[in-house]
Structure 1
């Protein structure tokens, strides 16, 4: 089940986010800095909408939708809505949760009457990146590296 984030979800989504990224510890040159930034995921609720995925009473995934014109990193067009920090608990993977969270972001971009939605990811995300490509996202340009890991911006046309 998907629902909107509540402030008392903060600890649970940080736990899920850290678990989701743990497999990439050896890819990032500054793992402590990277995980400190991952642990700031609840702050995305200040400029965007965090959506959580629950299985029973347990949060198993989350994503942030940042709407058009909301503050976002400079490598995105400021008018684009974006998907940030899609995370799924490793114990809940393979059940379509990441896709459901992404589709909810697409619905919100359509609600906001945006012609496109964007995200940034990296080739080390060997499950997420192929999913985004299957869903119609296309690479538009490189983004700044994060702790030595190359990232790129992907955009999907809507409607």
Structure 2
């Protein structure tokens, strides 16, 4: 079945069943491998993408639910919040193994888009469900605070 999706600013024709998870279209059909498979039940966050600017777990999101929405993957994330998060991640050396980090970054950008000065509690609440097997949670929280500071300095 042919479905039209707008992914990373491009309209793409996809031949897949309507109930196919968006993750598999992104990875297998479009060869965009920054979005990771972790658990398949939306509890680890590795598969996070943005749909109309909001973080969404793509492993359980059927392509039929995308409709006319804009899907953004880590490969084309390009906003002031994204640039601040990516800079903070590098400056604070957040990554250890790196597997979960695209999902962590996608969620952090979503948070900072909604809340430019999050507290520790805001961060912990918003990032809940993004698992990091290397336990870099303290560095992730510090990087989100640093990204917020970078955004404030540019304002």
Normalising by structure 2, report the TM-score. 0.32
Larger helix percent? 2
Kindly name which structure, 1 or 2, has the bigger radius of gyration based on alpha carbons: 2
More strand by share: 1
Larger relative contact order, structure 1 or 2 (CA cutoff 8 Å, min sep 6): 2
